[in-house]
Amino acid sequence: MRALAEAYLIGARNGFQQQIQYRVATLFAMLGFLIEPVVYLIVWTTIAESQGGSIAGFSTNDFIGYYIAWTLVRAMNISLTPYVWDGRIQRGRINDHLMQPWHLFHRDFAMFSGWKPVWLAWWVPLAALLVLIFQPQLNPAPWQLPAFFVAVFFGYTLRFILLYLIGMVSFWTTRASALFEIMVAGEMLLSGRLVPLELMPPWVQSLAAWLPFQWTYQAPIDIAIGRRTVGETFQTYGWQLVWIAVLGVSLAAVWKRAIRRYSAVGA
């Protein structure tokens, strides 16, 4: 375990140094992420104001806080996509990774985790600008901020494992990206990424309750804007950890079968 912890520290440091080296690219990526939530923010605050200041229990102020927090959750949720797996397997680039003493998952997860401080550093001034422009009334309780970051990390871990699992499909087909795009479409509707789930039809909310997506987006955001109590926050952690365990066990089982049939199909 000590050696694995050291490997994680090295991987995270490498990821951090990589993002520092390409920090301007990270800034432009963050600016790109702002477009989507700002559009949602403007649309839904306008609709809320036209409906008397509230929709489905979300006030205009709630929408502003929701989509500002959304920008950080979106940045923190960046994970290895199945597009990378397509190239790794087709070109045989996975061979070098398989010769390492640690599972490839640990190396990838550590590296992407090392990205987060740099993304957070860029997010702070951009979020401050959004707060200055839209002027939400934010009064978080002392426990909400640390609770939010814990939920964000668990959500990132859950989403990382889910995308890793989808990437394993590349061992059976030359392209797993189509399945990834289907997943993203489902995520948009069932995670609170597009709109809070309370604004969706009841059948969508029922379906979302059986899937992991809401624990990666809306659950952390709700904690940030004060829509979850302390008890509900711990329930959120519980469901996130359950999904992490379920998907983690699934990943381990699929990996064992996938690696047995691995062969590069390109030069």
Mean pLDDT by 10 residues, the chain (267 residues): 85 91 86 87 90 87 92 92 81 76 88 93 92 87 94 97 90 79 91 92 94 96 93 97 96 89 62
pLDDT at 263: 67
Q: Pick the closest to residue 183 from 201, 159, 207 (CA basis).
A: 159
Buried b (16+ CB within 10 A) or exposed e, 138-165: eeeeeebeebbbbbbebbbbbbbbbbbb
Q: Max Cα separation, the chain?
A: 62
pLDDT at 264: 59
Kindly state whether residue 242 falls inside one of the protein's structural domains: yes
Kindly state whether residue 265 falls inside one of the protein's structural domains: no
Our count of domains for the chain comes to 1
Query: Helix (H, G, I), strand (E, B), or coil: what is residue 6?
Result: helix
pLDDT at 152: 96
Q: Cα separation of 88 and 266, whole Å?
A: 10
Kindly state whether residue 127 falls inside one of the protein's structural domains: yes
CA distance to 186, 188, 208, 218, per residue, from 196 (Å): 14, 10, 11, 7
Q: Tokens 């205009």 label which residue?
A: 60
Kindly state whether residue 147 falls inside one of the protein's structural domains: yes
Q: Cα separation of 21 and 9, whole Å?
A: 18
Kindly state whether residue 267 falls inside one of the protein's structural domains: no
CA distance to 191, 205, 233, per residue, from 58 (Å): 16, 16, 19
pLDDT at 92: 72
How do beta strands 54-55 and 58-59 pair?
antiparallel
The two counts, helices (H) then strands (E), for the chain are 11, 2
- Please tell me what DSSP assigns to residue 264: -
Boundaries of domain holding 253: 2-260
Contact between 143 and 232 under an 8 Å Cβ cutoff? The reply is no
Residue 218 CB partners (closer than 8 Å, separation 6+):
191, 192, 193, 196, 197
Contact between 195 and 57 under an 8 Å Cβ cutoff? The reply is no
Cα 187–Cα 237–Cα 11 angle in degrees, nearest 5: 75
Dihedral (CA of 26, 30, 33, 35) sign: negative
Kindly state whether residue 119 falls inside one of the protein's structural domains: yes
Where does 142-210 have alpha helices with state H?
Answer: 144-167, 177-190, 202-209
Q: Cα separation of 187 and 77, whole Å?
A: 12
